[in-house]
Amino acid sequence: MEAPEHPMEAVPSQPARPPDALARCHALLREPMRAVEESLEETIHSTVQLIPEVSRHLIGSGGKRIRPVLLLLCAKASGGDERRGVGLAVATELFHSATLLHDDVVDRGHLRRGVTAAPQVYGNSASVLVGDFLLSRAFSLVVGHGDLRLLDELSRVLTAMAEGEVLQLIRSGRLTVSLPDYVQIISGKTAGLFSWACRAGTSLGTVDVAGAAAEFGRELGMAFQIADDILDYAAPSADSGKDVANDLLQGKTTLPLLLACETDPSLLGLVESVAAAGPDQASCRPIVERVLASGAIDSARQEAQRHADRAVARLSDFPDGPLRKCLAELADFVVRRAD
């Protein structure tokens, strides 16, 4: 029997057709992205059968592979051979997946990429330990690349990721968070790895755009996470692959709620009483409705757009051409998916 071309992508809950900008990026990277999928499958192999099983549950359920795409595009856009970036690209997806596994233990989330989150299927223990396995495999791939400076930057990114997650955890009980806290949380948990992926890609290039790539990735990551936080309020579950208002149920305050409380201060009292009683579907519903009615979603979209615009501005250091154009389109794509 012939092996399927993309063995890890054939899951029914995945939307039938990826949105255009990302699809165009994938089309430009057909060969290396095929190598990424093959390498992902190889990398999660273990004689301990539960490890590939749990890994495949998450990694095989699709996902946009946006971090590998960014890394390979930045490699190519800076004049590098993107095929040399496959190992690093796989590593970014593995770091991201490990974080999701650990984050799902934390959050008792229900849906992840449209399927039941791993801890509900395999237990907390398996999620923690398989997450650790993926971390070690990702680490191994980056070490194999042999660039100590990239490794040093990566270790700082991972530290900030953990700090962002812990800060989010501390704040989650109270359902209130300051804007600086929110920025530190999403900067740590999302923007850092986006930034590293872009910077790592350009390390393979022939023109020195490392600084611009790191900034592009950081701004794109901020836009991406804000859009994700908007989707939690504004998207039907089937589209986002996650429960609606899942963040709120878990006590996480994100930008829409933050902005809604600014324009509607009386909302703060409701949020505090819901947080004190322990949020559930019924008690969260009026909060969601008031957030939607407050205009905060539009304001949050504008904030995401500002980050995307800053990302695009940093691309001026890149050589002009269809690859730079693709990177710019990606920045628009991550905001527009929250429309």
Comparing CB distances to a second copy, the nearer of 181 and 332 is 181
CB of 79 to a second copy, least distance (A): 26
Q: Nearest approach, Cβ of 183 to a second copy (angstroms)?
A: 13
Question: Measured over all CA atoms, what is the biggest interatomic distance in the chain, rounded to whole angstroms?
Answer: 63
Nearer to a second copy, 146 or 265 (CB): 146
Structure tokens at 272: 């505090």
Cα three-residue angle 308-311-315, rounded to 5 degrees = 135
Give least dist CB 195 to a second copy, A: 16
Residue 212 CB, nearest approach to a second copy (Å)? 24
> Residue 153 Cβ, how far from a second copy at the closest point, in Å?
9
The alpha carbon dihedral of 119, 107, 39, 15 has a sign of positive
Show the DSSP H helices in 44-203 as ranges. 50-59, 66-77, 86-107, 118-122, 124-145, 148-172, 179-186, 192-202
Q: Which is nearer to a second copy, 62 or 192 (CB)?
A: 192
Residues 6 or more apart whose Cβ sits within 8 Å of residue 113: 13, 14, 58, 61, 62, 63, 241, 242
Report how far apart, in Å, the C-alpha atoms of 15 and of each of 18, 107, 124, 301, 310 are: 7, 25, 28, 23, 29
Q: Which is nearer to a second copy, 165 or 317 (CB)?
A: 165
**Least distance from a second copy to the Cβ atom of residue 242, Å:** 19
In the complex with a second copy, the residue whose CB is nearer, 190 or 294, is 190
Cβ atoms 132, 98 nearer than 8 A: yes
Q: How far apart are CA 55 and CA 253, in angstroms?
A: 29
Instruction: List residues binding a second copy (CB under 8 A).
Output: 46-51, 102, 105-107, 124-126, 128-130, 132-133, 135-137, 139-140, 143-144, 146, 148, 151-152, 155-156, 158-159, 161-163, 165-167, 169-170
Which residue, 68 or 188, is less far from a second copy as judged by CB? Answer: 188
Q: Which helix or strand (DSSP H or E) is residue 112 part of?
A: strand 111-112
The upper half-sphere exposure of residue 71, i.e. CA atoms within 13 Å in the direction of its Cβ, equals 27
**Contact by Cβ (8 Å): 14, 61:** yes
Nearest approach in angstroms of CB 261 to a second copy is: 23
CB of 144 or CB of 322, closer to a second copy: 144
Q: Which residue has the tokens 């804000």?
A: 226
